Structure 1
């Protein structure tokens, strides 16, 4: 069995990753371990890279306010440590989240975003080559191209626990540790296909949750800027479930109730409008469906700790 390459304090040694198969250009992409060392400005607390191109790393880093450039791996992260709010900006889109145990963040290969994390972070990362994910998908009988969804502090206790358990086997080159990491990588890849893949999969969805197709339809309806009915009755009817079972299954799949998901989505829309337009606060409130500027300001402050005016001033 091949041994992984362990990162030493110099950070010079690196194993080559599998050749990419994505149609997206990979000329400027760095391996994930190299890009993380650059953007975090430190060396990993512990790291193991396997000849397959996969790797697991435990980082303890300071606050981050920088752009993570495109990488040649999917990067999946799970968190230790204290809770904290953060922002992730991709183009003109802003995602906010709370780092805490039980959530995961996914950076698909080739993507780039700016991160604003105000406090130190303790995080375990999986570096997953696209080929590994595709192979696991093929072996499960699903030959369609697979893309992972971008996630920011997304509730997924199963993936979080699996990934955090890997930090205990980064101490050496022992055969058992190597085997554990390889099997854990396979298991995590399977879990990602079930819960975080962007295309249809023949794998079974999370027990008790919505199927990927049904969840996608529900989210498209919730995101709609048209007059689509986003009532609980309409959402449940479209899924072929009772309102009770739809709410339970939606929360099982996303970690949020439909109402909380929509509130989070509208907050992200509000941040985009406040940052990138000169629209008065009252117009932002109306555009997002709030009955008054006061109601919008109160909801915004509950979620961010700031008024819309204060947040706009700081964000620019």
Structure 2
């Protein structure tokens, strides 16, 4: 199947005369004629929807000059691999975000219907955006901005990112004279959010930057693979190759959460996805995501959401909206 050519957003001039720019992909992450020169930074936006329920393995083209930001719009199940190494597995909720850096090879195995917004962002635009935020004292500092990378959340759910992507898709139906400018602004908002997800706002490479990317990815993988197990801080720190206290401090700087809080968030994300299936008993969900009892699960769930799992399930079933199913 041939790729669909995406419309492009020029960051150097207003887009008020452009038509809406979110286009449909004929196949996953497949876009023709991206500007690989990097001379004119352009964001390409695409919408992908696959209604198949059977298992299918999809391989994204390897892009040398672009980041790919994927934001999931409906709950799905996916195993994702970067350069042959698994980075995430299982249920991905609304707002689940994966960022592929230039030169990386990503393959995904989807086991349910899936829908996503894809943004293809030139690395030069990322560098220029960083340069616009920071005041550099020398040309070498400015040039070093090109070495800054977007952090990959590995399909972790982010409600803000999900809402931005959903609004971007809805905005594509507008036909006013400023609709293109509106879409362009939303695309830059997605990029800004992706940049913010990198850490807690500390400078890259500084003493407050938190865990090195490879340690953080390894930590995320270990947590994802053991959500149903009673893992401890010692277990996680040992897997990351650090002492317990050293790991806990660096992890919080990198994510803004303690390891325990982060693990609880991931367990609740998986629980929310499972609650959408009304045939699964709540006690089974509680045990499947690592809580030792239904009562413990209910207590933590109520503290996080303000409602019980049973009430949340009823509300989600009644709403029936993609946004309502987000974490």
Report the TM range for the smaller structure's normalisation: 0.5 to 0.7
Match of 1:166 among 165, 168, 171: 168
Match of 2:46 in 1: 57
Distance in structure 1 (CA, Å) of the matches to 2:98 and 2:67: 11
Pairwise CA distance, 1:13: 7.3
Distance in structure 1 (CA, Å) of the matches to 2:190 and 2:180: 15
Distance in structure 1 (CA, Å) of the matches to 2:164 and 2:28: 25
Q: List per-residue Cα deviations over 1:82-133 (Å, max 9, x = no partner).
A: x332111223411224221132121222211221001121212222121221
Match of 1:206 in 2: none
Match of 1:228 in 2: 242
Distance in structure 2 (CA, Å) of the matches to 1:165 and 1:255: 32
Q: Secondary structure at the match of 2:195?
A: helix
RMSD value over aligned CA atoms? 4.6
Pairwise CA distance, 1:171: 3.0
Answer yes or no: is the 8 Å Cα contact 1:95–1:152 preserved in 2.
Answer: yes
Q: Secondary structure at the match of 1:148?
A: coil
Return the structure number with greater relative CO, CA threshold 8 A, min gap 6. Answer: 2
Distance in structure 2 (CA, Å) of the matches to 1:84 and 1:110: 26
Q: Alpha carbons of 1:254 and 1:188: their partners in 2 closer, same or farther (altered >3 Å)?
A: farther
Match of 1:257 among 252, 256, 261: 261
Distance in structure 1 (CA, Å) of the matches to 2:183 and 2:259: 27
Match of 2:115 among 106, 109, 122: 122
Matched, 1:146 2:148: yes
Q: List per-residue Cα deviations over 1:24-62 (Å, max 9, x = no partner).
A: xxxxxxxxx89x64547899xxxxxxx852122222114
Match of 1:93 in 2: 85
Match of 1:66 in 2: 58
Distance in structure 2 (CA, Å) of the matches to 1:262 and 1:64: 25
Distance in structure 1 (CA, Å) of the matches to 2:72 and 2:194: 17
Pairwise CA distance, 1:155: 2.7
Q: Secondary structure at the match of 1:124?
A: strand
Q: Alpha carbons of 1:153 and 1:172: their partners in 2 closer, same or farther (altered >3 Å)?
A: same
Distance in structure 1 (CA, Å) of the matches to 2:238 and 2:3: 50
Q: If the length of structure 1 is used for normalisation, what is the TM-score?
A: 0.53
Alignment of 1:1-316 (within 5 A): 11=4, 37-39=26-28, 52-61=41-50, 62=52, 64-71=56-63, 72-81=65-74, 83-97=75-89, 98-141=91-134, 143=142, 144=145, 145-171=147-173, 174-196=176-198, 201=203, 213-216=209-212, 219=216, 222=236, 228-230=242-244, 233-236=245-248, 238=249, 252=256, 257=261, 302=288
Return 5+ residue gaps in structure 1 as ranges: 1-8, 19-32, 44-50, 203-210, 240-245, 264-300, 304-316
Q: Secondary structure at the match of 1:151?
A: coil
Q: If the length of structure 2 is used for normalisation, what is the TM-score?
A: 0.52
Return 5+ residue gaps in structure 2 as ranges: 12-22, 33-39, 136-141, 220-235, 268-286, 290-327
Q: Alpha carbons of 1:254 and 1:122: their partners in 2 closer, same or farther (altered >3 Å)?
A: farther
